Amino acid sequence: MGRITLEQVTKSFGEVDVIRPLDLSIEDGEFVVFVGPSGCGKSTLLRLIAGLEDVSSGRIEIDGQDATELPPAKRGLAMVFQSYALYPHMSVRKNIAFPLRMAKMDKAEQDRKVEQAAAVLNLGDYLDRRPGQLSGGQRQRVAIGRAIVREPAAFLFDEPLSNLDAALRVGMRLEISELHKRLTTTMVYVTHDQVEAMTMADKIVVLRAGNIEQVGSPLDLYRRPLNEFVAGFIGSPKMNLLKGAEAAKDNAATIGIRPEHIGISSDGGEWAGKVGVSEHLGSDTFFHVHCDGMAEPITVRSGGEVDFHRGDQVYLTPDPAQLHRFDDKGLRIE
């Protein structure tokens, strides 16, 4: 079981309000991802749930029990830190067994559980090494192993993959998703990697300056961003946001259109412009087009075979069905 409910939770460090009154409910077995710009309070929120920070006001419930005042160890949650936080002077085996040892479990049972976790995470060969003798990916696995053996109600991850190289990240991402499918335990995951958020989450929570901007499934957020911030934040490359005359034509303060929803051709279209930088990724090409009368260049995504060069005259045609409209407060207009 791992239902976590936050009610009107706030957190301030002295004068600074890091978390504004915030309600959130995380269902049992869900994979929830917190995303948001740096400094928006993702880690703080996770640490509040873990009990490593005290809430300034509000209530935290875990499985229906009030956990607001419970110390971290009593909440039954396990956390994987960005720095892994392995105990450097203990072997991998001892690291993984540490929570069991603290729970005064008997030795044979400890060994059995460690072996089990090691098998799940492919750590069998490294059990007698020290963390210092492991690669980044292996350390990450040990940290996860240490979390698994406790059989927690929920796992909390704080940017667990940000210290790994790109290839390893892809691998670990899959492994964590795999693990979630197998254990079906609630997982709360902090990241600022778009791809991690989109691929792993059942539910994404977008935070900005301590407020929740939107909660929803990845595709929900992608297709129907509730405000301009979420529209700009989710999706890579970013959605094009246009203000002024173009927006006024559609009776909005701002209109947004994703790069893949704009057609590009050399013959004719709605907006005329000149190609600036183009990024060729092989499968896709991103063109940054400077359109007449617009301040910002517009990003357009097209197939890898489309070939325009710097300075070419092109015409862009947005797909009207995929246009997002926002009012002067930045809220979505249906």
Ligand X SMILES: Nc1ncnc2c1ncn2[C@@H]1O[C@H](COP(=O)(O)OP(=O)(O)OP(=O)(O)O)[C@@H](O)[C@H]1O
User: Does 18 help bind ligand X (rule: CB under 6 A)?
Assistant: yes
CB of 75 to other proteins, least distance (A): 8
Q: Which does 38 bind (CB under 5 to 8 A by kind): ligand X, other proteins, Mg ion, none?
A: ligand X
Q: For other proteins, give the closer residue by CB, 86 or 187.
A: 86
Residue 158 or 228 having the CB closest to ligand X: 158
Task: List beta partners, residue 189.
Answer: 33, 157
- In whole angstroms, the minimum distance from the beta carbon of 82 to ligand X comes to 8
Q: Say how far residue 16 (Cα) sits from the centre of its chain.
A: 24
Q: CB of 141: closest distance to other proteins in angstroms?
A: 15
* Per-residue binder mask for other proteins (CB under 8 A), 149-178, x = binder: -x----------------------------
Strands 186-190 and 57-62: unpaired
Put residue 314 in one of left, alpha, beta given phi > 0 → left and psi -120 to 50 → alpha: beta
Q: Give the bridge partners for 243, in sequence order.
A: 254
72 contacts other proteins (rule: CB under 8 A): yes
Using rule CB under 6 A, residue 48 touches ligand X: no
Given the complex with ligand X, which of 50 and 105 has the nearer CB atom?
A: 50
**Residues paired with 187 in a beta bridge:** 31, 155
Q: 41 to 60, contacts with Mg ion by CB under 5 A?
A: 43
**How many residues make contact with other proteins (CB under 8 A)?**
24
18 contact choice in ligand X, Mg ion, other proteins, none (CB below 5 to 8 Å, kind-dependent)? ligand X
Q: Is 177 left (phi over 0), alpha (psi -120 to 50) or beta?
A: alpha
Binding flag, residue 21, other proteins (CB under 8 A): no
Tell me, rounded to whole angstroms, the distance of Cα 246 from its chain centroid. Answer: 32
List the one residue from 9, 26, 32, 40 that touches ligand X (CB under 6 A).
Answer: 40
Bridge partners of 166, per DSSP, are: none
Instruction: Give the helix ranges, DSSP H, for the chain.
Output: 42-50, 92-102, 107-120, 136-148, 166-183, 194-200, 218-223, 228-233, 245-249
User: Do 89 and 132 form a contact (C-beta atoms < 8 A)?
Assistant: no
Find the helix or strand (DSSP H, E) in which 159 lies.
Answer: none
Residue 4 CA to residue 27 CA, distance in Å, equals 7
Residue 146 interacting entry, from other proteins, Mg ion, ligand X, none, C-beta within 5 to 8 Å by type: other proteins
Binding to Mg ion, residues 24-43 (CB under 5 A)? 43
Draw the binding track, 191-210, toward ligand X (x: CB under 6 A; -: no contact): -x------------------
Residue 323 in the binding site for other proteins (CB under 8 A): no
Contacts with other proteins, 129-148, as mask; x by CB under 8 A: -----------------x--
Does 107 help bind other proteins (rule: CB under 8 A)?
no
Which residues, in sequence order, are CB contacts of 87 under 8 Å at separation 6+? 94, 95, 98, 131
CA-based nearest residue to 33, from 182, 134, 161: 161
Binding site for other proteins (CB under 8 A): 50-52, 71-73, 77-79, 81-83, 85-90, 98-99, 102-103, 146, 150
